Structure 1
C-alpha cells in the first residue's frame, strides 16, 4: 500500500485549493456586466417619457436582475421628473430590458437640467463601468420666456402723426408678412463676424408679447456661434416718419446688437450708396452706452459716416427696456433715446459724398452679431446665451 508523506499530502492539498480557487474566480468572471445608457430629450409642453435601456455585455445564462433608482441632480425630483425605483429582470438568453421615467411638461426656456439613474445589487451579473447614467432634460429651446417689463414706454400716438405700421409681437409666431430671415455666415457679413444666422426658433421666437433674438455659443455649420438676423425688406419699407422701438439689450464682450435700416435699393446700388441708418448699436463690453450712426457714399472705398453715442448715468441697457427712436424728415435725421434724449442728429447739408440716399425707402434689420471688427471676439467673461428682447416697433408718418 502506497503511503504519502505529509509533505506530499500538503502539496496535493495546496494544488487542489489553488485549482478550485481559480475555478471559482473564472466562474465569477464569466458573469455578464450590466450597464445603463444616458438619455437626452427636449422637454415638451406635456409630460414626456424618458426610456432607459439596461444592457448586458453578453447574453444572460440565467435570469439576471438589478435594482435601479433615480437620483436628483440639477433637475428637481417630483417637480421636473417623477422619481422611480424598482428591479428589472433580463431573461436568460436576452441582453436588454427597459424602464421609463416621466418628465414633467414645461415650455420655459432656461438652462438644461439632468437627473441620475443608478443601478445596484446585481444578481447573475456584475455592475459594469456604466452603472450610472443620466436623464438630460433640454430646456434651452422652450418657447416661453418671461421678461421683466420695467423701463421706459413711449406714447401710443403723437400730434401730427398717424400710426402706419407696427409689430407688437403679440402672436405665437414671428409674422412672415412682416419679417424674413437672412441666414448663413456670408463671409462675416463684411465685418469679420463669427456667428451663423439661422431661421430656427432656437435663435428667434415670440413669447408673452415680445420678440426674442438669442445668440448662442454652439457649433453650427461653419461657425461656433448662432444668432438671428431679421429684415422687413420687400414687406415693410418706409421713407420719412417717426420710428419707435422698445427693446432690452444683451451684453458681454464680443456681443453686438443692432436695430437699424438699409436702403431698399441695396441690391441695385450696393452699400454704402443705398444708405444705412443705425438707430441703435451697442458693443457688449460697453453695456451702458448706445450709438446712433449714419453711413453713405459711392462705394466702400468712398464711404462717409457720422454718429454719436450716449452713456447712461447709472445702470446698463440690459437691465430695463428703453425706446430707441428715429425722427426722419426730408431735411434731417435725429436719433433719440426715451423720447427726449437726443443721441445724434444730422442735416441734409452735412451729407455731401455721393448721391443723397436718405430720401428713398428703407427697410428694418434686427440682429445680434457675435464678434466682428468693432466689438472684437467673445472671451472667457462672455456669458451665453445672450438675448435682445423687442417689445414693439411702431412707424408713424
Structure 2
C-alpha cells in the first residue's frame, strides 16, 4: 500500500535554549528547477542571553534566523524561574527550576529573521536568581530533531530592546470566479464509487486505494453506511449542516462474512473505530495554480481523532500533497487555536515535507476551532502556497509541489501518530461542514 503524510510523523520534538543554536536540515538542493534556490545548506536559529536591570519588569530575549526563509517557521518557548541555593549547587538549582514564568510562541513568516521573546518579571531578579528559556517545535508536527542547550536571563545592566521583523503575507486577491461549491447536504452526496445511481459524479467515500491505511498505523476503517451498517459515518446536524465522523464500535466492524474486519498491522485485532472521508476525486479534480480552496468547518475536541482537509493530485501519485489543515488532537487539553499546514513533495533524497503548527490567536482574538465555524483555505501560487484563516493569511510554504491538478479530501480518522484514544466512549469525533468552494484567479 502506498505511503502517505502520516507515515512520517513518528518521534518527539527536541528542545532549543538560550545561548544555543537551532538547526534544521534544508531541502533547497531538492527543489524543482522552477523554484529559486538558496545557497544555505541549513537554517540556524540563534538565541542570546538576556540581561535585565533592577527596575525592569520585562526581559526581552532576541531570537534570530541565520537566513530569511521562504516558509513559515513556528517555535514554542517555555520560561522557568531558577534559584540557586547558598552553596550554588547546580544539581539542586535544577531541582528548584519548577516555576513556569511564561509560555508562548514565535512565528517567523517568510522573509523575517528577527523576533523577540518577552518574559514578564514578577519581581526584580535577585542574586542567585535567573530564568531559563527553552524553545521547541510548536506542537507535534512537523518535527526537526533540533539541538538542545540551556541559557539564562539574569540581572545586570539593562539591554536595548531587540528588533522585531514584520513582513505581511499576501492578502486574498479580489475578484476571481467560483468554479466549484457545495454544502454537501444532498442525501446522495457521496458513494463508494464516486458516482450516483444516475451516473452523475458525487463525493467519493474512500481513498483511491481503498478503505484502510495500515501503512499509517491508523486504527480506523474508512466506512460507508451503505457498506458498513454498523457505522453512521455522516449525517445532518440539528443546525442543518453536514457532518462526517469517526466512531467507536466496541464489538468491531463486520466483514460481511460472519467475521470481523482486522487491522493489517496489528495481528488478530479488529477495527473498533471507523473513519470518515469524502473526496472530490470524481466530482471536481481541476484545482491548479491560481486556485483558492476553502472549507468552512467546526471540529469536536476528541482525544485521538485526526481531522484534516488536504489536496492530492488527480493522477493519485504520492507525494506531492498539500495539507490545508490538520488538527492532531492528542488530548482534551489540545489548544483551541492550533492549526497545522504543510506540503509534501519528492526531492533528490526522496519524500520531503515542510510545515508549521501555528497558533491563530494573533490573527483573531478568541480563535476557536471547536465552538464555531471557521473558514480554512489556501491559495496555490506559482511560487508560494499561502494559507488563510477566516480570510486572513497565517502561514506560507514554497510551491515545491507543482501545479497539480488536485482534488480535495476531507476526513476524520483515528490513531496513527496520535496512538490509542484515551477515552473511546468520548467518540464520535465530528467535523461539521458548512460548505466548500474553489475560486479561480
* TM-score, normalised by the number of residues in structure 1: 0.52
From 231, 246, 269, the counterpart of 2:279 = 231
How far is 1:290 from its partner? Answer: 1.0
Distance 1:197 1:384 in 2: 15
Asked whether the equivalents of residues 178 and 437 of structure 2 are also in contact (C-alpha less than 8 Å), the reply is yes
2-side partners of 1:170 and 1:203: how far apart? 14
Measure how far apart 1:380 and its partner are: 2.9
Identify the residue that residue 318 of structure 2 maps to in structure 1: 271
The answer as to 2:368 corresponding to 1:336 is no
Could you tell me how far apart the structure 2 residues matched to 1:325 and 1:338 are?
8
The counterpart of 1:261, out of the listed 311, 314, 329, is 311
Provide the rounded CA distance (Å) in 1 between the counterparts of 2:335 and 2:218.
19
Given candidates 212, 224, 227, the residue that maps to 1:186 is 212
What pairs up with 1:1-397 in 2 under 5 angstroms?
A: 159-175=174-190, 176=195, 177-182=201-206, 185-188=211-214, 190-200=215-225, 202-207=232-237, 209-218=240-249, 219-220=252-253, 221-222=261-262, 223-237=271-285, 238-240=287-289, 241-266=291-316, 270-272=317-319, 275-284=320-329, 285=331, 286-288=334-336, 289-297=338-346, 302-313=350-361, 314=366, 316-340=368-392, 342-348=393-399, 351=400, 357-373=401-417, 375-380=418-423, 383-397=426-440
Tell me how far apart the structure 2 counterparts of residues 261 and 371 of structure 1 sit (CA, whole Å). Answer: 21
Runs of at least 5 residues in structure 2 that lack an aligned partner in the other structure: 1-171, 196-200, 227-231, 254-260, 263-270
Q: CA RMSD in A?
A: 2.4
Gaps of 5+ in 1: 1-156, 352-356
How many residue pairs end up in the alignment?
Answer: 225
Tell whether the 8 Å contact from 2:377 to 2:389 is kept in structure 1 after alignment: yes
* Residues 185/287 of structure 1: CA separation in 2 closer, same or farther (3 Å cut): farther
Q: Deviating runs (4+, > 6 A) in structure 1?
A: none
* Preserved CA contact (<8 Å) 2:211 2:223: no
Q: In 1, distance between residues paired with 2:241 and 2:380?
A: 26
Post-superposition Cα deviations, 1:40-95, rounded to whole Å, max 9, x if no partner, equal: xxxxxxxxxxxxxxxxxxxxxxxxxxxxxxxxxxxxxxxxxxxxxxxxxxxxxxxx
SS at match of 1:345: strand
Contact 1:333 1:346 in 2 (8 A): yes
Worse overlay, 203-212 or 191-200? 203-212
Offset, 1:381:
7.5
Return the alpha-carbon distance in structure 2 between the equivalents of residues 196 and 170 of structure 1.
23
Measure the CA separation in 2 of the matches of 1:167 and 1:210. Answer: 12
Taking the aligned partners of 1:257 and 1:382, their CA distance within structure 2 comes to 18
| 8 A Cα contact 2:248 2:425, kept in partner | no
- Partner Cα separation in structure 2 for residue 316 and residue 214 of structure 1: 19
Contact (CA 8 Å) 1:174, 1:206: kept in 2 or not? Answer: no
Change (3 A) 1:257 1:287: farther
Residue 25 of structure 1 corresponds to which residue in structure 2? Answer: none
